[in-house]
Structure 1
C-alpha cells in the first residue's frame, strides 16, 4: 500500500468540479483518489460497505455515489461482480514515470485484476506510451497499437473537450460582463432620474429624464467621473445666481450640464465658502476685505442673491 497519492491542485479549479460537483461529490472524488485501497495501476477492489464505513456515509449513499460517478460524471467504471473500480484519469496523472520498481509493481497488480477491461479503461487516458506498452504486455493485450491508437484518440477527444470548456467559460464571462453592463446602465438611469428630479424641484421646472438630449449631457459628465452630488451643487449655485434674472432661462440641462459644468462646480466651492446667511446669501461676503476691494473697483451687488455686477 502506498504511503501517499498525488492529487493535482487544479482539481479544485476544474470547471466540471466547480459547476457539476456537490460538496459530497468532491469529498468522494478525493476519497477515490487517496483511500488506502488504491493501487499504482489505478484499478482496485472496494465495496459500498467499505466506502460507507471509511467516509461515514450510509451504504445506500455510497452505492448512489458510485452510480452517479459512473453514469453521470463518467469518471469511473465499477464492476459490481468483481467489486473492482477504475478511475478515468488515473493514468494521465499517476502513470507518468517508468522504471523497474514501478513496472514490477504494475505487473503484480495486473495479475490480481479480474476485469481486464478496467485496465484498458485506464490506458485510454495514459499519455506515457512506454507505460502503455508495458501494461498491455503484462495484461496480455495482443494488439498494443489499438491501445496506443485509442490513447491518441482520447487525447484528441480531450483537446476537443477542453476547447468546448474554454468556449463555455468565454460564454459565461460574456454573460457576466453583460450583467455588469446592465447593472451599470440601471445605475446610470437611476442617477439621471435623480438629477433631473432635483433640477425640477429646485428650479420649479418640468424637464423629463427620458429626453435623449438631457440624458446625453448627464451621461457625458458621469463618464468624466462627476458624481450626483456634483450635479446638485451646480444646480444649487446657478439657481442662486440666475433665479429671478434674465439668466433664469438657462437653468436647463444643456446649459447646466454642458461643457462649462466643471467651472460651475468650482464656482460652487467659492459660493459655499462665502455663504453665511441662508441659500441666497451673497458669495464671498464672509471675507470683508474682499467685499471692500470690490467696492473700490466699482463693483456692487446686482440683487439679493449675492452675485455682483459692475457699476457704470
Structure 2
C-alpha cells in the first residue's frame, strides 16, 4: 500500500515558514514527508540518511537540526537517532480507532521513552484520548535512563576546553569551548573515535598551512577544522607551502 504524508496548503502562508530561509523550508518539509515519518511524529532518522536524501553534508544537517531545535519545532535524540516533530500531534491527529491503534503500536517501538512521555503529555494537553495501558514505559524507561547516564559521563570526558585552548594558542584565536556549535562539532568527531592527539594534529597541520595565508586563515575555526573534513585533514601531509590550500577545503 502506498504511503502518503499530507501537507496543508496553508503551510506556505504560515508565519513561521514565511520567515525561514529556502534551505530551512526544504529541510522542514523533508522532516514532515520523508519515508521514515510515522503517524505519531516520532521516528528513527540517522543523520547519514538525512545526508543521502537531502544532499546536504553532515555539517549542514547538524546545523539545521540544531536550528529547528532552537525554534522549538523538533527534538533529536542522538543515542537512539530518533526525531520528534513537536507539533505533529496537534495538526495531524485523526480520531479513528484504526489510527489510534497504529499510533500505540508505533509508540511501543520508540526507543527513547522521553519522547513517548512527551507525546502522551501533548495528547492530554490537546484533549486527545489515547489508552496508554498497553504501552510499556517501565523497563524501557529504566534502560533509557542508563543510556542517558552513560552518555552524560561520555560527554563530560570530552576535553572541549583543552582542544579549544590548543587551537587558540596555535592559531591566535579567541574561540570559546562553551559554544554549542563548537561542542557539537567536537562531540561528533569524538563519538567517531577520534581523540585529543587527533584534534591537536589537525590544528597543527592546518595552522601551519593556513595561518599566514590571508584568505585561508579565516577557516582556522572549529566548524571547519572539526567538521566533516576532519579525517581528511588528519591524514593530510603537512605542506611547506600554502599555494594549494584551497584544494583541501572542498
The structure where helix makes up a greater share of residues is 1
- TM-score normalised by the chain length of structure 2: 0.50
- TM-score normalised by the chain length of structure 1: 0.40
Q: Flag the structure with larger Rg.
A: 1
| Structure with greater contact order relative to length (CA < 8 Å, sep ≥ 6) | 2
